[in-house]
Amino acid sequence: MLVTPKIRSNICLNAHPAGCAQEVRRQIEYVKAKKAARAGTASDTCVESDVSLKSESSPRFVLVLGCSTGYGLASRIAAAFEYGADTIGVSFEKEGTETRGGTPGFYNNMAFDKEAKAAGVNSITINGDAYSHEIKKRVIEEIKKLGKKVDLVIYSLASPVRTDPDTQELYKSVIKPIGRTYEGKCLDIIAEKLTEAKAEPASEEEIATTVKVMGGADWKLWIDALTDSGCLATGCTTLAYSYIGPELSHAIYRDGTIGEAKKDLEKTARELDLDLQKKIMGHAYVSVNKGLVTRSSAVIPVISLYLACLFKVMKANGTHEGCIEQMERLFAEKLFAGGEVPLDDEKRIRMDDLELTDEVQKATVANMNAVTEENMAEYCDLAGYKHDFLSANGFDVDGVDYGLEVERFDMV
């Protein structure tokens, strides 16, 4: 059958298998080209710190939790195809069957495994609930079977729910402000309309449950389980991802429920860092990444309009990055550049540096203030935002013939 996007309330409900696979290949090609370019630059200019030129600390065996889409997928691609690292990936995706479509992450994982095999790098992909004890046990068994220790653990889970593995209680996260109502403009990218979003303040219970889902508790469970079972190499690094965003979104994001969860994640990083230093001379960091259109961020009020205005500004000044550009730069210029990892005052890696410059923020806010439904194309990167939204589900991807029937949904 022909597969076209099914979109409801800024969420794309289906995926195109061939488009997802092509998008994975595009990201792989990007990191391979960067590797070559960095090697070229380094040999021309004798920049010794370039990782692609085999820093001692280059990742060799990487565990990616949340490996199937967004930042996790990009991290896995950078590790495997720029550094040749073996990877274990964990994600929670709906599998495609012969007749029914799966989620984009399912097709991304299949494509990743196929490309990794062709390139001769080992990959193991596990589909299941990363919050459960069962999946932690399974990953540890896989690591032990391989007889190697993990030197990088990426924690890139984004989920609306988490079942506590001990009590089986289901916690739900909410995106709400704290202490006051939030009202802001949103972009409906498909209708090209501006809508008003209103979010009532969160209850104490909603704040607590959001922290349970998106805070640092599960990351700590993973790192403790991996350390206790002797699966982490000496000097292993673990990273989790956070977002801060612009002033104008703080009421709904950084000072809201998700922000509380992120502050908990950042606190967990500082605690894990001390612990890992003591136990295995390792490190734990949070990397604050750039705001991007991924399956998670598309549903946060005001962020959609902000991102569309931001992309317009950053593309015009040549500093725009997507997931793969961010993760490639994170690895090559911050994590594995050979020296100390550069951190801010709160011990975080800042990949949102280019997004949060005064110049970019002022221009973005000016765009947001000026935009109306009539002049959207002038102030928003409508085409770019729409492309990112669709391509996260395998649609609107260059080189894919959408006129071809999808014969089976269980293969790419």
Ligand X SMILES: NC(=O)c1ccc[n+]([C@@H]2O[C@H](COP(=O)([O-])OP(=O)(O)OC[C@H]3O[C@@H](n4cnc5c(N)ncnc54)[C@H](O)[C@@H]3O)[C@@H](O)[C@H]2O)c1
User: Is the Cα torsion angle 245, 38, 286, 224 positive or negative in sign?
Assistant: positive
Nearer to ligand X, 211 or 233 (CB): 211
Q: Is 68 in the site for ligand X (CB under 6 A)?
A: yes
Nearer to ligand X, 214 or 232 (CB): 214
Q: How far is the CB of 393 from ligand X (least distance, A)?
A: 11
Interacting positions 74-93 with ligand X (CB under 6 A): 90-93
The answer to whether 253 is a known catalytic residue is: yes
Nearer to ligand X, 156 or 227 (CB): 156
Binding ligand X by CB under 6 A: which of 156, 210, 227, 237? Answer: 156
How far is it, in rounded angstroms, from Cα 206 to Cα 202? 6
Contact characters 300-339, ligand X, x per CB under 6 A: ----------------------------------------
Nearer to ligand X, 129 or 275 (CB): 129
Binding ligand X by CB under 6 A: which of 27, 55, 69, 304? Answer: 69
Binding ligand X by CB under 6 A: which of 14, 125, 237, 297? Answer: 297
Binding ligand X by CB under 6 A: which of 41, 122, 159, 229? Answer: 159
Stretch that binds ligand X, among 247-255, 287-295, 366-374, 403-411 (CB under 6 A): 287-295
Helix (H, G, I), strand (E, B) or coil at 286: strand
Angle between helices 217-228 and 257-280 (to 10 degrees): 20
Binding ligand X by CB under 6 A: which of 241, 331, 379, 389? Answer: 241
Catalytic residue among 107, 131, 253, 306: 253
Query: What torsion do the CA atoms of 138, 238, 131, 175 make, to the nearest 10 degrees?
Result: -160
Give the amino acid at 340. E
Q: Is 268 in the site for ligand X (CB under 6 A)?
A: no
Nearer to ligand X, 150 or 233 (CB): 150
Stretch that binds ligand X, among 155-163, 226-234, 342-350, 401-409 (CB under 6 A): 155-163
How far is it, in rounded angstroms, from Cα 231 to Cα 270? 21
Q: Is 10 in the site for ligand X (CB under 6 A)?
A: no
Q: Which ranges of 65-156 would DSSP assign to H, the alpha helix? A: 70-83, 104-119, 133-146
Stretch that binds ligand X, among 22-30, 53-61, 79-87, 289-297 (CB under 6 A): 289-297
Q: How far is the CB of 107 from ligand X (least distance, A)?
A: 12
Q: How far is CA 408 from CA 98, 281, 411, in A?
A: 5, 48, 6
Cβ atoms 265, 214 nearer than 8 A: yes
Give the amino acid at 263. K
Q: Is 16 in the site for ligand X (CB under 6 A)?
A: no
Q: How far is the CB of 68 from ligand X (least distance, A)?
A: 4
3-state secondary structure 123-138: EEEEECCCCCHHHHHH
Q: Which ranges of 129-256 would DSSP assign to H, the alpha helix? A: 133-146, 204-214, 217-228
Binding ligand X by CB under 6 A: which of 210, 242, 249, 367? Answer: 242
| Residue 308, C-beta contacts closer than 8 angstroms, at least 6 positions apart | 187, 189, 380, 381, 382, 384, 385
Q: Is 131 in the site for ligand X (CB under 6 A)?
A: yes
Q: At residue 240, what are phi and psi to the nearest 5 degrees?
A: -125, 160
Nearer to ligand X, 54 or 137 (CB): 137
85 closest CA partner among 18, 23, 146: 146
How far is it, in rounded angstroms, from Cα 303 to Cα 300? 6
10 closest CA partner among 392, 403, 394, 408: 392
Stretch that binds ligand X, among 225-233, 286-294, 336-344, 364-372 (CB under 6 A): 286-294
Q: Is 158 in the site for ligand X (CB under 6 A)?
A: yes
Q: Is 243 in the site for ligand X (CB under 6 A)?
A: yes
Stretch that binds ligand X, among 32-40, 235-243, 247-255, 360-368 (CB under 6 A): 235-243
How far is it, in rounded angstroms, from Cα 404 to Cα 47? 47
How far is it, in rounded angstroms, from Cα 156 to Cα 363? 30
Q: Is 109 in the site for ligand X (CB under 6 A)?
A: no
Q: Which residue is nearest to ligand X (CB)?
A: 70
Q: Which residues pair with 12 in a beta bridge?
A: 7
Residues found near ligand X in the complex (CB under 6 A):
66-72, 90-93, 105, 129-131, 156-159, 241-243, 289, 291-292, 294-297
Residues with active-site annotation: 253
